[in-house]
Structure 1
């Protein structure tokens, strides 16, 4: 019988006296991994280290895991499986956040492109040094739960979850999944927790950092319409009119209006944190309640059910993401430093491709030597650069490119 607790590479039985389940072991492996620690200095929205308050990939991942664990437990999922998914879901993201991801995708085209979620599977199953040839060697259930996009790269699809040379472990992972691309319930819970976390928290960071004010949206109908048009074009399939109704409900909420004139003072910070907490709880509770209404109250896990998110709640979440996009990310993307980030990663890949294997880490140099062709060697270089933190990428560029 195929087991959800099966591992890609069989391991000797552990001392049963510890009393830990296989999924608890998975959680510990992610928490103690080098890739997870590096998230502490990788960009979420704002450059890591630019402000003590603002979130990094590490704090974001911890928050996603906490939200997912509680939501999954209320649905009957194994809490450690959804916790692992939340902790691990961004472990493959490169320096400089989505800006870095876009830059690496361009230079990685000869070896199949770059996608943070596909890189996550690669880190978990190949690159992390835990079990020879298997990365962290997580269980099937934990790997499947961490897979937001369980399909390979295809024309017309921006997101995907596996590179061509990682298909063997991906196929093994999906062996208990139904035919097609359906995600397990734990992956859906993690994905919704991710949406909730970065929509609510990016707005919180934007307000706190002075990048985003809600006052223009409260007062200006044209600005509200422009935001809804943005969201309809990027984050939602709903019409701008439908989104407008959801935005009106959101902006008339007393919790939201209380932060419209945020001034950074203690009372304003209390109001901002209250808005963050209540919106997070509301979005989670709505999904749990709607899923129970459709599927019943019995415990659900794996492929027993699909997560149900009410449309109004999903629209409000998309609107918050739109606020962060419109007022924070686009403004930051116009800054000279964002173009510099892309230049750093592009030039670093070019320099390492010329100087490999000598200037690769000891972890990657043997892989480069064993690679069968130029595309495979480029993939190793991409793995090396993607593993770097923001600060390390700058330092490597200074050493290998600027100093030559």
Structure 2
């Protein structure tokens, strides 16, 4: 059986049925068309100007949300192909996984979550579902309502990192990889998007992620851990040959794995140091140094994904698609990822200049939301102004403002704040 045959008609179903493409168009599978729709979406282009860890305008080398998503997509595609599932689904989920993030990354998410309580809260992954199924207009239903990109059920489900509503979310703990504390409960759907969520989850098992979403989730973790280390080394903030392990281990516990002792973390680091490309001398900025750093990045990604692939094969025969299997990630691999995240957190995320900047970003977004609520449709772009006019109450109008602000890039949020809040002052 081919990979394509492992997925049935329900997996390929779209909320709005679509006629066959014209005969002279290139032949593509349903999942290839999903990928193309996400690649060409305006929301994807905006990721290039949204914060990943630091301001994307601060340095030519620094990663932004778009470059991070491309790297996650490559990891997800390779792991999916190795498992025998449909790589286009996992890749599309990875390309889409950050589309709902607002300006200033998780720091901006925190502000919008605090302000949007009256309309059901805010969460970047729930916003991704809303964008894919409503805000990013491509297809309309018989009643004239936008259904977003009209992706297949299998692809939409793979994009859903937290397949439950807000009321079932657990209390947040630890920190995000960008250094902001986890104060936003993680969930995947707002109340008014529940109909499409329920359609998408037909055939699911409780609140379990489908296999392709699990692949996307791990790929995100792997990319975060490895590439933040790479960025920190090039920036001169991380030296893997000289680590203050006592301080790093405390950060690892505070941010990621609270119940792991120093001895176990020492053991995990010792295992990482056996990787042949682990540096034995400080990074010197030379081409040879850059090449060695890239080899380390590749080797670590291969190490983590290879461990997950072998553990998944050992746990069952498959097929490794949808709800017929789960991705198995060894406990040691998860700790290795946590150690790398902890190193980046200790030497990059906790810097005082970042903390002060994040406070200013939160104030800016809060003032921008207040200004747009006061101004109403005159301050909104046309699609959101139309949504405002159709909104039934203040809560629905607040949701429109949150949708508008979440769509902005870092730079456009600053420009809008200058124009609207500056004019008020």
Shorter-chain TM band: over 0.9
Give the 3-state SS of the residue equivalent to 1:213 in structure 2. coil
Q: What RMSD over aligned residues (CA atoms) do the two structures have, in Å? A: 1.7
Aligned length: 396
Find 2:122's aligned residue among 93, 98, 114.
Answer: 114
Structure 1 segment 207-356 matched on structure 2, within 5 A:
207-217=233-243, 223-236=244-257, 238-240=259-261, 241-251=263-273, 253-258=275-280, 261-296=282-317, 299-331=319-351, 334-356=354-376
2:32 is aligned with 1:24: yes
Which residue is 1:206 aligned to? 232
Partner of 1:145: 158
Question: Structure 2: how far apart are the matches of 1:39 and 1:334?
Answer: 21
Aligned to 1:400: 420
Q: Deviations over 1:71-107 (max 9, x none)?
A: 1011111111111101000010111111111121111
Match in the other structure for 1:13: 20
Q: Supply the distance in 2 between the matched residues of 1:235 and 1:214 (Cα, whole angstroms).
A: 20
Q: 1:16 to 1:146 in 2, by over 3 A?
A: farther
8 Å contact from structure 1 (residues 140, 173) kept in 2: yes
Distance 1:236 1:21 in 2: 41
Q: Is the 8 A contact 2:170 2:186 kept in 1?
A: no
Name the residue aligned to 1:374: 394
The unaligned stretches of length 5 or more in structure 2 are 1-7, 141-145, 172-184
Distance 1:233 1:183 in 2: 27
Q: Distance in 2 between matches of 1:165 and 1:332?
A: 40
| Mapping 1:37-116, distance limit 5 Å | 37-116=45-124
How far apart are residue 237 of structure 1 and its match? 5.9
- What residue number does 2:197 align with? 170
Deviations along 1:293-322, whole A, 9 cap, x unmatched? 1113x5421111100111111110111111
CA distance in 1, matches of 2:353, 2:107: 8
1:21-52 superposed Cα distances (whole Å, 9 cap, x missing partner):
11111000000000001001111001012111
* CA distance in 2 between partners of 1:163 and 1:244 (Å): 42
Q: How far apart are residue 364 of structure 1 and its match?
A: 0.4
Deviation at 1:374, TM superposition (A): 0.8
Residues 253/74 of structure 1: CA separation in 2 closer, same or farther (3 Å cut): closer
After TM superposition, the score normalised by the length of structure 1 is 0.94
Counterpart of 1:372 in 2: which secondary structure? coil
Which one is further off, 9-18 or 383-392?
9-18
**Unpaired stretches in structure 1, ≥5 consecutive residues:** 218-222
1 CA distance for matches of 2:19 and 2:342? 49
The equivalent of 1:35 in structure 2 is 43
Q: Does structure 2 conserve the Cα–Cα contact (< 8 Å) formed by 1:225 and 1:244?
A: no
Which residue in the other structure is 2:147 paired with? 134
Asked whether the equivalents of residues 320 and 326 of structure 2 are also in contact (C-alpha less than 8 Å), the reply is no
Range with greater deviation from structure 2 (17-26 or 354-363): 17-26
1:196 aligned residue (222, 228, 236): 222
CA contact (8 A) 1:82 1:186 kept: yes
Q: Using the TM superposition, give the Cα deviation of residue 228 of structure 1 relative to its aligned residue in structure 2, in angstroms.
A: 2.2
Mapped to 1, the partners of 2:51 and 2:406 lie a distance apart of 12
Conservation of the 8 A alpha-carbon contact between 2:319 and 2:325:
no
Please say if residues 332 and 338 of structure 1, whose CA atoms lie closer than 8 Å, have aligned partners that are also in contact. no
Separation in structure 1 between the aligned mates of residue 421 and residue 86 of structure 2, nearest angstrom: 48
**C-alpha contact (below 8 Å) 1:92/1:119 kept by paired residues:** yes
